[in-house]
Structure 1
Amino acid sequence: MDPLLLIEWWWIAPVAAGGVAAGGIGMRRRSMKSGRRLAVDAARHDLRQAQQLATERRMAARLARAEYARVSAERSARRATPEQVAAAKRMLREKENDAKAAAADVRAKQVRLSAARAALPAASAPRPLERLQAEHDAITARWMRYETDASLQIAYPAMTDVKQPATAAYLRAAGAAVDARRAASGKVTTPAEFAAYRDAVADLERAFEAAEYAARVQAGEAPAAPTWQDAAQDMLSRSAEAFDRAAGAAASAFAAWNERKQRPDKR
């Protein structure tokens, strides 16, 4: 190649590379502005918070472990009471459980981030905020059926009775979801605002399902959730039945063995 051409065109490669990079950044900014990556950014925001909390809880568990070792040593030297050792051990167990829960939450947030990346909408598809608002509207529409349909009001009066705990919980969740929606519906929605709205809609759906189930229980259409006494009694009954079956099988086996032993040898 002519050296003069190299001199004249030496700047093209850096400028072209810079243009490609700038184009990529511009595309990402347009994607962020349009809200296409909002669910991904919110999931990444949740993951960072979960990782920070997990780090804090791991450190708290290490401190509790060191404190338990110190109190145990003090007890060996008869400078600490058994109650102090027991309290330090309980604290250690609590902090370790908190650390395990935080680690599990980090793994869950990593899965959510992967799912959000896989579900990244196409350019012509509804944006994550629009889909979330549609989910919110669908839950509200399900609730409004009980408010506007006279037959449903008669069949399930608990759904519109604010004195019912499940109904009151739904109404509180509905108010929280409306507030979160209002905060996330500005000109620019931050990942934190989207995450708060997403969680509020999830809480609203769970509250609606609980209220609907409670109303159906009162209407006699669904079995009530067993109390701990019922669960304990059921477990005892099952254990007794299993013991009886095992005892019967053992008795039958012993009787058969005894019969074979007493049978005369015909050889």
Structure 2
Amino acid sequence: MDPLLLVAEWWWIAPTAAAAGTAGALGLRRRSTVSGRRLEVDAARHDLRNAQRALAERRVALKIARADLARVTAERAAQRATAEQVAAARRILRERERDAKAMSADVRARQVRLNAARAAIPSASEPSPVERLQAAHDAVTARWMRYETDPSLQIAYPAMTDVKRPATAAYFRAAGHAADMRRAATGRITPADFAAYRDAVTELERAFEAAEHEAKVHAGEVPTTPAWQDTAQEMLSRSAEAIDRAAGAAAAALSSWTNRRKPRNPDDRP
């Protein structure tokens, strides 16, 4: 057969094959999204964007607080503002600085979670993110049911079923919220729905741990930790960090002083 006729007859194969490959790749990505395999990644990206927007707002508020302090300080110098107003502006500035610092740390944490979610996308043979979340939810409920159904545990830890205790009441509230978020996270789940259910399960786990710890304290198995010890430990940690920073700054200054270039004597020859 004439090569030209062969090319004319089969010219459509290469474009069709390329289009089929592209459609196949898009189909795989779509099936992955529909099946919920990338839902945890999408939810983590959703959280990161919200945190980044919140950080931008905190930074704007910080700039405004700095400008307000400068304005009030200038008015104080002109005797048009009081010392109390300057002190109030300084307090607001410190609060805005803490807010911005905390939100910046939250953005970094959200980025880490996004990277971890990307690295842990489950395969088709593994449970989906929703299934894993439901399993974690069921695990906490099963741990709680032991205290509800085992008579020996009821006698040993009566605080676990006493709704008058704050930690137990907090657990029941968290359990009800997690159940509501689980019902909402059905059908075609959005990243926001998954994130809300994930956060509810995380709060449920924390509430259960707090209730169980308090019940063991009430039973005399775990000693109560005074609040002043936690405060003292936090102060020691901050002091150690401050000492480390000061030591690092001193070492850098000493190195700079030691390695400085000595001034040249005009009588010295090159």
Which residue does 2:66 correspond to in 1?
65
Which letter maps to 2:201? V
Task: Provide the rounded CA distance (Å) in 2 between the counterparts of 1:221 and 1:6.
Answer: 85
Which residue does 2:159 correspond to in 1?
158
Which letter maps to 2:193? E
Task: Provide the rounded CA distance (Å) in 2 between the counterparts of 1:230 and 1:41.
Answer: 37
Q: 1:6 to 1:58 in 2, by over 3 A?
A: farther
Which letter maps to 1:119? A
- Kindly report which structure 2 residues correspond to 1:225-264, keeping only aligned pairs within 5 A, or say none: 225-228=225-228
Please identify the structure whose Cα radius of gyration is greater: 1
Q: 1:76 to 1:231 in 2, by over 3 A?
A: closer
Q: Deviations over 1:205-249 (max 9, x none)?
A: 1100110010000110001121328966xx9xxxxxxxxxxxxxx
Which residue does 2:46 correspond to in 1?
45
| Helix, strand or coil at the partner of 2:145 | helix
User: How big is the shift at 1:17?
Assistant: 3.6
Task: Provide the rounded CA distance (Å) in 2 between the counterparts of 1:75 and 1:81.
Answer: 6
TM-score, scaled to structure 1: 0.81
User: How big is the shift at 1:123?
Assistant: 1.1
User: How big is the shift at 1:3?
Assistant: 6.2
Task: Provide the rounded CA distance (Å) in 2 between the counterparts of 1:105 and 1:89.
Answer: 24
Which residue does 1:263 correspond to in 2?
none
TM-score, scaled to structure 2: 0.80
Q: 1:2 to 1:52 in 2, by over 3 A?
A: farther
Q: 1:133 to 1:77 in 2, by over 3 A?
A: same
- Kindly report which structure 2 residues correspond to 1:71-220, keeping only aligned pairs within 5 A, or say none: 71-185=72-186, 187-220=187-220
| Helix, strand or coil at the partner of 1:151 | helix
Task: Provide the rounded CA distance (Å) in 1 between the counterparts of 2:89 and 2:41.
Answer: 41
Q: 1:224 to 1:11 in 2, by over 3 A?
A: same
| Helix, strand or coil at the partner of 2:124 | coil
Say what the alpha-carbon RMSD is for the aligned residues: 2.1
Q: Identity of aligned pairs, percent?
A: 71
User: How big is the shift at 1:11?
Assistant: 5.3
Which letter maps to 2:227? T
Q: Deviations over 1:132-177 (max 9, x none)?
A: 1011001000000000000000000000011111100100000000
Gaps of 5+ in 1: 236-267
